[in-house]
């Protein structure tokens, strides 16, 4: 179900639809690419198409597993900073990073399943916020990085 399928639905249904749509769009940026294309660096930063998917996986784990779920990032085995979350290892492949993203999304869905949007969550190191705020932050990040992915994919396919 996409965002245009739920214009009159309740707020939670709309937030879930937008989140799922952007999750799929970030993954789709890798469709049909070789491992080399997915790893190709086209900008001075560590940002690559595969790195973007790795980062949004990390980002969702921070917001849903750490902030909402209350498990510290160190216990989750997550790198400490957003910049580090883009960095690829030799073991990272399109298949492995996609699988990790799907697992993080599934976990996120479970973590929030029974929580109202007004639930105050306290697991983030910068302080409490509502679940609604977390959804909006995740959507902001996903939309931001979908734009990056669109441009990088266009460059990869042109080159």
- For residue 145, the model assigns a pLDDT of 97
| pTM, full prediction | 0.95
pLDDT number for residue 159: 79
Cα separation of 150 and 158, whole Å? 12
> How confident is the model at residue 88, as a pLDDT?
97
41 CA to centre of own chain: 20
**Whether the Cβ atoms of residue 78 and residue 35 lie closer than 8 Å to each other:** no
Q: What is the residue-level pLDDT of the chain in tens, covering all 159 positions?
A: 788 888 888 999 999 999 999 999 999 999 999 999 999 999 999 899 999 999 999 999 999 999 999 999 999 999 999 999 999 999 999 999 999 999 999 999 999 999 999 999 999 989 999 999 999 999 999 999 999 999 999 999 997
Nearest to 148 by CA among 35, 59, 43: 43
Predicted confidence at residue 7, as pLDDT, reads 87
Q: How many CB atoms lie within 10 A of CB 91?
A: 7
> How much is the pLDDT for 81?
94
- Residue 132 CA to residue 116 CA, distance in Å, equals 8
What local confidence, expressed as pLDDT, does residue 25 receive? 97
């Amino acid at each position: 179900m996409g965002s245009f399928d739920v214009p009159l639905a309740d707020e939670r249904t709309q937030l879930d639809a937008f989140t799922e749509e952007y999750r799929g769009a970030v993954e789709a940026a890798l469709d049909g690419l070789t491992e080399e294309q997915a790893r190709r660096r086209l900008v001075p930063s560590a940002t690559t198409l595969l790195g973007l998917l790795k980062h949004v996986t990390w980002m969702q784990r921070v917001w849903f597993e750490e902030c909402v779920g209350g498990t510290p990032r160190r216990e989750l085995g997550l790198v400490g900073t957003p910049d580090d979350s883009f960095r690829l290892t030799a073991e990272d492949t399109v298949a492995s990073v996609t699988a990790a993203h799907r697992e993080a999304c599934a976990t996120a869905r479970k973590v929030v399943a029974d929580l109202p949007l007004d639930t105050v969550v306290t697991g983030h190191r910068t302080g409490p916020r509502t679940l609604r705020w977390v959804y909006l932050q995740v959507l902001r990040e996903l939309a931001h990085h979908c734009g990056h992915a669109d441009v990088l994919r266009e460059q990869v396919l042109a080159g």
